[in-house]
Structure 1
Amino acid sequence: MLQEGRPAADAVAEREALGRVAHALRHYQFGAGWEAARWERNLKLLSERHRALVPRLADKIAEARQCIYRNHLFLSALLDMFEEESGYCPPHLAPANAAADEHEARVGGGAGVTPGDHDKVRYVFKNAARDWSEEGAAEREQSYGRIVRELARLFASWPAGAADPPSVLVPGCGLGRLCLEIVNLGLRCQGNEFSYFMLLASAYLLNGVERELQWTIHPWVHSSCNQLSSEDQLRGVQVPDVHPAELVPAPGLLSMSAGDFAEVYSSPEYAGSFDAVACCFFLDTAHNVLEYLEVIYACLKPGGYFVNLGPLLYHWADAHSYLPGEELSIELSLEEVKAAALQIGFRLIRDELVEASFLDNQRSMMRGSTYRCAFWTMQKPAGSAAAATPVALAEEAAPRQPGPAPP
């Protein structure tokens, strides 16, 4: 998050990071095209006898190139939204194309994109399928659905259409679908995201698309292993499955912040700001999960709720294998995480283990992205004993029906 008064060196570093990401999105077709060229080279190395056994392989590779081109068109439209003089996109993202030009002048064209950044571009397509396609609905139900129903239950007594509805923070909000589902309850929601890949893509999907099913993307075209059929690998999904505006019952309910969660929300201005914090596959992104717990506690209002769903994959645990030097990574068991949260001051009022998938290819021969997730609700004690009484775990309340969507 760019903030006034920060050192100029920070602003320069952030512009460089934004440019690197936009440059990678711009040159997606170069990296994906290299993979298709590798398939073609290997096909030519086969003997005539072996090529005769796979007569459609050349056609499949040609079709894959068309899928890659359609993905490229989606990213091109996405990047067209970001111009420094534009008033249509978030100001901190507006310089994306100019910053990409600067980055390209330093490193060259597509050859200057790192393999890691090529992978993160492909990750955008998988996330778009998860958050904004009909195919992703079943996976969303396993995680987003549970969280949204829990929030609806916790705030069921709040008057529908109240002038000051409860506020929910969603750190690590990715492409924003969970935020929109929360807003669709009539609650206020602020999403927070650190990755420029996610920030650029979510800004376009939330603000730039013109209609539902506007784009067909091919999230699995790059994956040639464990495919049951060529059709499965090349299949397209249409996004968005619903126009985001249809999920917003009133203006002013949704806001977004960019930046490192712990850095942004440890600021005194956010102390006691939110009625709930909802984390989905987020806690284990921390270098230090204990810091995350403290920041969540601090930014909750007294009596506020901490709803969490996710595993403990600990993203930085093996960073030493691909980054120079070592990164801080505190890896605790689920039992240790919950015990620490209780010592910080939380009360545990719901505690389950549930199964949920994350970016799982439903048609793959390898189904390796389903986790036994911790699903809990904790509460920050209120100022009085009466107000601190936890909500009873009875029936889950149905979400309130929102009013008509804005045009």
Structure 2
Amino acid sequence: MANNEWEGDFDPMADPEEQKHLLSVLDSFRSYRRLAHFNATHTRRQAFYSLPSAHWTLLSQPPFSILDSLIKLDDLIDSNAELAEAIFVTGFQAFIAPGLDSEWVSKLVPLHKERDEFYVYSTIMDHLNVTSTQNDLEKARSCVNQFYREWSADGAVERERCFSPIISRLESEFTKRKSASPSQQKSDIKVLVPGAGLGRLVFDICRAGFAVEGNEISYHELMASSLVLNHVEKPGQFTIAPFALNSSNHLSRADQFRTYAIPDIHPGTELSKSEDETPPYERMSMASGDFCVLYTQPGASATFDVVATVFFIDTAPNLIRYIEAVHNCLKPGGLWINLGPLLWHHASRPPPSEKNQDDDTKMKDENENAHAHSRAHIDTGIADPGSVELTDDEVVALVKHFGFDMEIHEPGSVETGYITNTRSMLQSTYRASFWMARKV
């Protein structure tokens, strides 16, 4: 990734509301260890000892050994927390540290602790009186688990089903273009990935030789992707137990407590193997901000050859805004490749009014996609009022209406889970739609 990590001129620290949200996100990762221990083991121990003494005594012994399981769970929480706290440090360094007064910090931190980055940054957070929202705390927990899907060896099953069709179509498009113009290089094809998440698809597209820009609005995802793409030192640097905190539907404790090494590869090492004329760090970047706002700007017009959306379009309250952004940023003849379900994230979102303005503001603050950054006075993007839920055939009709030819439409063709515990007694499977549309 580029040295500046995130492109764009937006400064979240210049906006009080955005700064408050950013600090809440940072605190949600910082608080992972403490809250997970409290919610996952402390409360369970209290509930366990509330059983009749004969019962908890029985369950304390083999083959049940519930108390031993809770001790093991505490260890796994600590392992997960190492990743969460590394994300906190990465995010703090990027957003907060550059603006700190070194003399003020030196007064807060004892000399013998000044090399402990987590301690230093956490002490500063304490003095900033930060309080995380419940949504941000849940998002931090989800973000840690998402590393299983995007950056573990076992997550390759879901990545193969969701990412491989995208890269396969990119390869086909390159072959088509090269046959018409033999001098064409893969790096000449510029791909945009909105909703880039933890950055694995962006990385895989870059590793395949294409130029790629990821876009993400969530600070949770931005900080996590920055850690894995720019700051990890080796494969398997962290170990996570993504299913440990959920105690339901397990066949055995061994299933519940399975661990996974992440990342499965070292991104920097893998990209260094590239033999392309254009170095990988010049072909991969990440832009932070609202997709609807960034890519409807005149400066973004006809910039990309391909837009690839995976499990993304159903995050739109109003899909027309997404379609307009894709149409604007694609070059004439450019491709929109989409794969995903339609689990509409904003179902039945009420319109704002003077009567419910406070509730509406709270609702937006609790949704990761409702932050329209400092451009809100011009275009609130995804934070616009109103929402609508469409069927797959309605989505396709709408895409066609706005100037695309649908070249491929395969509804229900990709069966996949999302951060699926394959050994769980409960299985959820999406029958995702796959389609490819070309801008007329």
- By the TM > 0.5 criterion, same fold? yes
Per-residue CA shift, 1:137-189, capped at 9, x if unaligned?
A: 10111101111112111212436983852000000010010011111111000
Instruction: Work out whether residues 171 and 279 of structure 1, in 8 Å CA contact, stay in contact via their aligned partners in 2.
Output: yes
Task: Please state how far the C-alpha of 1:79 moved relative to its aligned partner.
Answer: 2.7
Q: Which amino acid aligns with 1:188?
A: A
Measure, in 2, the Cα distance between the counterparts of 1:328 and 1:93.
Answer: 38
Aligned twin of 1:384 = none
1:195 pairs with 212, 218, 243, which one? 218
Structure 1 runs not aligned, ≥5 long: 382-407
Aligned twin of 1:277 = 307
Q: Which amino acid aligns with 1:189?
A: V
Aligned twin of 2:370 = none
Instruction: Work out whether residues 288 and 330 of structure 1, in 8 Å CA contact, stay in contact via their aligned partners in 2.
Output: yes
**How many residues in Structure 1 have an aligned counterpart in Structure 2?**
369
Say which SS state the counterpart of residue 334 (structure 2) adopts: strand
Say which SS state the counterpart of residue 163 (structure 2) adopts: helix
CA 1:164–1:28 in 2, change beyond 3 Å: closer, same or farther? closer
CA 1:141–1:346 in 2, change beyond 3 Å: closer, same or farther? same
Say which SS state the counterpart of residue 304 (structure 1) adopts: strand
Say which SS state the counterpart of residue 214 (structure 2) adopts: strand
CA 1:141–1:272 in 2, change beyond 3 Å: closer, same or farther? same
Instruction: Work out whether residues 143 and 309 of structure 1, in 8 Å CA contact, stay in contact via their aligned partners in 2.
Output: yes
Residue 189 (structure 2) pairs with residue 154 (structure 1): no
Instruction: Work out whether residues 7 and 287 of structure 2, in 8 Å CA contact, stay in contact via their aligned partners in 1.
Output: no
CA 1:226–1:281 in 2, change beyond 3 Å: closer, same or farther? same
Say which SS state the counterpart of residue 15 (structure 2) adopts: helix
Aligned twin of 2:236 = 213
2:406 pairs with 348, 351, 354, which one? 348
Task: Please state how far the C-alpha of 1:82 moved relative to its aligned partner.
Answer: 4.4
Measure, in 1, the Cα distance between the counterparts of 2:423 and 2:183.
Answer: 41
Aligned twin of 1:42 = 47
Measure, in 2, the Cα distance between the counterparts of 1:329 and 1:270.
Answer: 25
CA 1:9–1:235 in 2, change beyond 3 Å: closer, same or farther? closer
Per-residue CA shift, 1:73-115, capped at 9, x if unaligned?
A: 222233333455xxxx5x699679999777644656xxx4333
Measure, in 1, the Cα distance between the counterparts of 2:139 and 2:283.
Answer: 30
Instruction: Work out whether residues 217 and 236 of structure 1, in 8 Å CA contact, stay in contact via their aligned partners in 2.
Output: yes
Percent identity, aligned pairs only? 33
Task: Please state how far the C-alpha of 1:49 moved relative to its aligned partner.
Answer: 2.6
Aligned twin of 1:377 = 436
Q: Which amino acid aligns with 2:89?
A: D
Residue 384 (structure 2) pairs with residue 317 (structure 1): no
Superposition pairs of residues 82-93 of structure 1, within 5 angstroms: 82=91
Measure, in 1, the Cα distance between the counterparts of 2:92 and 2:138.
Answer: 25
Q: Which amino acid aligns with 1:137?
A: A
Instruction: Work out whether residues 345 and 380 of structure 1, in 8 Å CA contact, stay in contact via their aligned partners in 2.
Output: yes
Residue 376 (structure 2) pairs with residue 367 (structure 1): no
CA 1:95–1:30 in 2, change beyond 3 Å: closer, same or farther? farther
Instruction: Work out whether residues 409 and 434 of structure 2, in 8 Å CA contact, stay in contact via their aligned partners in 1.
Output: yes
Say which SS state the counterpart of residue 257 (structure 1) adopts: strand
Aligned twin of 2:24 = 20
Residue 78 (structure 2) pairs with residue 61 (structure 1): no
Measure, in 1, the Cα distance between the counterparts of 2:393 and 2:97.
Answer: 40
Residue 200 (structure 2) pairs with residue 177 (structure 1): yes
Question: Which is richer in helix?
Answer: 2
Aligned twin of 1:335 = 393
Aligned twin of 1:398 = none
Aligned twin of 1:32 = 36
Measure, in 1, the Cα distance between the counterparts of 2:92 and 2:135.
Answer: 26
Q: Which amino acid aligns with 1:288?
A: N
Say which SS state the counterpart of residue 266 (structure 1) adopts: coil
Measure, in 2, the Cα distance between the counterparts of 1:178 and 1:94.
Answer: 30
Structure 2 runs not aligned, ≥5 long: 1-5, 101-117, 351-357, 364-384
Aligned twin of 2:107 = none
Structure 1 length-normalised TM: 0.84
RMSD (Å) for aligned C-alpha atoms: 2.7
Per-residue CA shift, 1:244-282, capped at 9, x if unaligned?
A: 124432331100000111011111111000000000000
Measure, in 1, the Cα distance between the counterparts of 2:46 and 2:12.
Answer: 48
Task: Please state how far the C-alpha of 1:41 moved relative to its aligned partner.
Answer: 0.5
Say which SS state the counterpart of residue 215 (structure 2) adopts: strand
